[in-house]
Chain A
Amino acid sequence: KAGVTQTPRYLIKTRGQQVTLSCSPISGHRSVSWYQQTPGQGLQFLFEYFSETQRNKGNFPGRFSGRQFSNSRSEMNVSTLELGDSALYLCASSLGTGQYLSYEQYFGPGTRLTVT
């Protein structure tokens, strides 16, 4: 099976702009989670989607949003970019069915976002 894919891999944006990142989960996985990784804050949970519904959300401002499509692909959007949004954004997929194995999350290679 193909792994989790994320596009683009690298992105440079200017303060105030908005950005959309994309994630395609492993085939058959219905849950997609997003994480932000920075040197200062480490890995932080952004949100999780399951069957096109946001199931959980981390402690991030409303500028961070996401959605999931019927094919389980997910996008996350960050509006009005700030310098502090520079980070590695990781997407992870899991079965999400409620069985214990569904809690194993498999990560994509990440999108490196730089805000200037």
Chain B
Amino acid sequence: AQTVTQSQPEMSVQEAETVTLSCTYDTSESDYYLFWYKQPPSRQMILVIRQEAYKQQNATENRFSVNFQKAAKSFSLKISDSQLGDAAMYFCAYRWSGGGADGLTFGKGTHLIIQP
């Protein structure tokens, strides 16, 4: 079964600085999708960015970008110019692209604190 590991339970960064959240995963599949979700105190899960495993190019969404290393099974999230509104729990998630996929597999999350 696939697993997702986020080794940083909590990270703290100064406003306007850059922070990188780590995620590693384990799978025997070659075709899958990876996601970063943000969960602020409201508990609403918000999709931040996605990456298709077959794409070599790293995904970017405004201030958010990923470093996808397929061979190393690593999928880190970089947040540039951190803003107070970025404070939240961040979850890395995996989903196999096959028809029998068991939904999203999530990591335990990283609590991101933004220092003003």
B34-61 vs A: 1/0 string, CB under 8 Å? Answer: 0101000011111100101000000000
Q: Evaluate whether A103 and B95 lie within 8 angstroms (CB atoms) in the complex, with A33-B104, A45-B102, A58-B103 already known.
A: yes
Interface size on B, residues (CB 8 A): 25
Interchain CA distance A88-B109 in the complex, whole Å: 15
A25-46 vs B: 1/0 string, CB under 8 Å? Answer: 0000000010100000011111
Report which of A43, A58, A103, A106 forms a contact with B102, defined as CB distance below 8 A. A58
A90 touches B45 (CB 8 A): yes
Interface size on A, residues (CB 8 A): 27
B102 touches A105 (CB 8 A): no
**Chain A positions near chain B (C-beta within 8 angstroms):** 33, 35, 42-48, 55-58, 88, 90, 92, 98, 100, 103-110, 112
Sample 15 A-B pairs with CB under 8 A, ordered by A number: A42-B109, A45-B102, A45-B105, A46-B103, A47-B103, A48-B103, A57-B102, A88-B43, A100-B33, A107-B37, A107-B44, A107-B46, A109-B43, A109-B44, A112-B43
**Chain B positions near chain A (C-beta within 8 angstroms):** 33, 35, 37, 42-47, 50, 52, 91, 95, 97, 99-109
